[in-house]
Structure 1
Amino acid sequence: MATRKPSIDQDLIRDLANILNETDLTEIEVEQDDLRVRVSRAGTPQMVHAPVAQQQMPAPQPVAAQPAEAAPAAATSANAVTAPMVGTVYLSPAPGSKPFVEVGQSVKEGQTILIIEAMKTMNQIPSPRSGKVVSVLVADGDPVEFAEPMIVIE
């Protein structure tokens, strides 16, 4: 008599695929007893991330081509609030509402100055120090990279 292999739980695979779609993950793996199921989406991340990388590549080139502007950027970087993560920056709590901060406004340490959306989570970014907002270096909806200057507070 031949031993029969355990059947694969089709519902489990469908549930995992739905979780992938709902969370925009590229891969998910579960292991239970002797069963290991891995569901992945090959090739999708490259298509999603390619336009963002292309949009951000031209920005550093003009700064390098114009050394006169590099010095002021370096001077303000000491007072700049940098992005703690990669994501999309939002300057107001909701579309069409008043921004968290504006140029010339005084802020207190710990006050929310913007939001970064990362992995479908809205992360409030607090001011690291009290001071006056000198400039806002990003626009609403812009993608930001880790350590990218966003707001200058003096």
Structure 2
Amino acid sequence: MSRMLVDKEAIRALADILTDTGLTEIEVSEGDSRLRVARNVTVQAAAAPVASAPAAAPAPVADEAVAPADLSSHPGAVPSPMVGVAYLTPDPSSPPFVQEGGQVAAGQTIMLIEAMKTFNQIKAPRAGKLVRYCVASGDPVEFGAVLAIIE
């Protein structure tokens, strides 16, 4: 039985390269091994929001909605267990595993993440209502990125 060894230092080094260069994806191959690191990129409409960021800080005090930056602290957040590409459907011609607003059971598949040509099922950690997907099909995701909100 063979066991795949993951070089955590290599992953961290590649992630640092992504951050330093502004790239969204990097892949290295050596022999039969391949390592791909990708990150989600949020596009801002203009440079003006950056200048007004300090003024926008008081806005999260409101209890009405959770801002996208605060999704990781949401109690219903479903974090990505790996780096890969998210898919909300089992195949391109099928409907999503779960529609936004739909009920899910604990352990029910809510999406797939493709990592190293393997499709990994992402299961609901708890029963509830899938309030929102935080990624779209085909989006690259990072480890720990919020994939969905289940309340």
Please tell me the TM-score bracket, short chain as reference: 0.5 to 0.7
Q: Tell me how far 1:56 sits from its aligned partner.
A: 2.0
Which structure 1 segments of 5+ residues have no match?
Answer: 1-23, 30-39
Report the 3-state secondary structure (helix = DSSP H, G, I; strand = E; otherwise coil) of the residue aligned with 1:56: coil
Helix, strand or coil for the counterpart of 2:31?
strand
Cα drift, residue 28 of structure 1: 2.6
* TM-align CA RMSD: 3.4
> Is the 1:90–1:115 Cα contact (8 Å) retained in structure 2?
yes
Q: From 25, 31, 38, give the equivalent of 1:28.
A: 31
- Structure-to-structure mapping, 1:114-125, within 5 angstroms: 114-125=111-122
Q: How many residues align?
A: 112
Q: Which has the higher contact order (CA 8 A, sep 6+)?
A: 2
TM-score (norm 1): 0.60
Between structure 1 and structure 2, the one with the greater Rg is: 1
**Alpha carbons of 1:121 and 1:70: their partners in 2 closer, same or farther (altered >3 Å)?**
farther
Q: In the aligned structure 1, how far is the partner of 2:91 from the partner of 2:121?
A: 12
- Which structure features the higher share of helix residues? 1
Q: d(CA) in 2 for partners of 1:83 and 1:70? A: 27
Residue identity matched to 2:30: E
The sequence identity of aligned pairs, in percent, is 47
1:102, 1:85 → 2: CA distance? 23
- Structure 1's 136 and 146: CA in aligned 2 closer, same or farther, altered over 3 A? same
Amino acid at match of 1:28: G
Residue 149 of structure 1 is matched in structure 2 by: 146
Alignment of structure 1 residues 1-154 onto 2, 5 Å: 26-28=29-31, 52-53=38-39, 56=41, 58=43, 65=53, 66-67=56-57, 68=59, 72-73=66-67, 74=70, 77-154=74-151
